[in-house]
Amino acid sequence: MLEASFLNLSDRSATDGAVSVWPAWQVRDGGGATAWFGVRLEFGDGARVDALAVVAKGCVSIEDVRAEPALSLDDLAALADWIEVPLSQACGIGNATDGEDGGPGGVRPVWPRGVEGQWLIAQKYRAAQEAGLDPVLAVMSATGHSRRRSLRLIGQARDAGFLTPRRARR
């Protein structure tokens, strides 16, 4: 049995714990999808945090958190730092909050224009589809553009022949 009354995540180092993320279920509606992911943070001393994350409309939210021992409010805030990167990777949205120097900031990645950019868009789109993730979110993450701009880039990749046509032309 653990002796601590709180988990104290801020006092632990990254090598102390292991984060695992797995898809729980997905609901498709109209033109989009909502996906839930299970997240577990485990430590060698038996401490554990289980969370349920939901991805909808390009946003990741935590719906439920259970911890043994309990989390303080400070621990709850520190939990985001522990699970951000693995959860973002599992959701197919990348780590949008880190700049090239590893610091915070919404720095948009440099994306090539023209045929090379269209080919890369198609690669990201197909990779997300094969992984069972939302391909539009994957393109949004890779390019740093909005949903509307990402859909336009995907359309350009289709027109260039890098992706199959969306519907049969008459």
Domain boundaries, the chain: 9-91, 92-170
Task: Give the confidence band of 46 by pLDDT, cuts at 50, 70, 90.
Answer: confident
**Whether pLDDT at 50 is above 90:** yes
Sign of torsion over alpha carbons 58, 86, 25, 166: positive
Q: Using one digit for the tens of pLDDT, what is the confidence trace for 65-97?
A: 999 888 888 888 788 878 877 877 777 665 444
**Whether pLDDT at 12 is above 70:** yes
- Looking at residue 95, its pLDDT comes to 47
Angle at 17 between CA 12 and CA 19, to 5 degrees: 130
Sheet architecture: strand order including 48-56: 17-29, 32-43, 48-56, 59-68
Q: Report the alpha-carbon distance of residue 13 to residue 17 in Å, rounded.
A: 8
**Whether pLDDT at 103 is above 50:** no
Mean pLDDT over 96-100 rounds to: 42
142: number of Cβ within 10 Å: 22
Mean pLDDT over 13-19 rounds to: 77
On whether the CB atoms of residues 66 and 74 are closer than 8 A, the answer is no
Mean pLDDT over 100-123 rounds to: 68
**Whether pLDDT at 150 is above 80:** yes
> Which residues lie closer than 8 Å to 114 by C-beta, 6 or more apart?
none
When the pLDDT of each residue in the chain is averaged and rounded to a whole number, the result is 79
Mean pLDDT over 34-55 rounds to: 88
- DSSP assignment string, 47-103: -EEEEEEEEETTEEEEEEEEEESPPPHHHHHHHHHHHHHHHHHHHT---TTB-TTSS
Residue whose token pair is 């943070």: 41
